Amino acid sequence: MSTESWNNDNINLLRRSDVLMRCAFSNSTLHRLINSGDFPTPIQLSPRSVAWIEHEVNDWIKQRILTTRTLKNGGSYE
């Protein structure tokens, strides 16, 4: 995690439902991506509550878009 996250007083947190809606995938896909290290790890808010840092999720989405557009313009989808 970059130090920018720690120095920013406007850190927004996303709950699981927000993350699932933004990324348009299922809860099981979310868990699979986290476990494989392919999605930002949530932070523990309480024993039964987690959240994601909004800019990390946004960065992940932007990277997926960039990767897809790069592959479409000359790479392979495999």
Residue 3 lies inside a defined structural domain of this protein = no
- From residue 45, alpha-carbon distances to 4, 66, 73 in Å are 20, 31, 41
Residue 29 lies inside a defined structural domain of this protein = yes
Q: How many domains does the chain have?
A: 1
Residue 37 lies inside a defined structural domain of this protein = yes
For residue 67, the model assigns a pLDDT of 92
Residue 41 lies inside a defined structural domain of this protein = yes
Residue 43 lies inside a defined structural domain of this protein = yes
Is the pLDDT score of 58 beyond 90?
yes
For residue 6, the model assigns a pLDDT of 61
For residue 7, the model assigns a pLDDT of 65
Residue 75 pLDDT level (bands cut at 50, 70, 90): low
Residue 25 lies inside a defined structural domain of this protein = yes
Residue 28, both tokens: 């099981």
For residue 3, the model assigns a pLDDT of 52
Residue 1 lies inside a defined structural domain of this protein = no
List, for residues 2-51, the tens digit of each pLDDT value.
555 566 578 999 999 999 999 999 999 999 999 999 999 999 999 999 99
Q: With left for phi above 0 and alpha for psi between -120 and 50, is residue 37 left, alpha or beta?
A: left
Residue 34, both tokens: 């986290």
Per-residue burial over 30-42, b = 16 or more CB atoms within 10 Å of its CB, e = otherwise: beeeeeeeebbeb
Name the residue range of residue 22's domain: 11-72
Residue 5 lies inside a defined structural domain of this protein = no
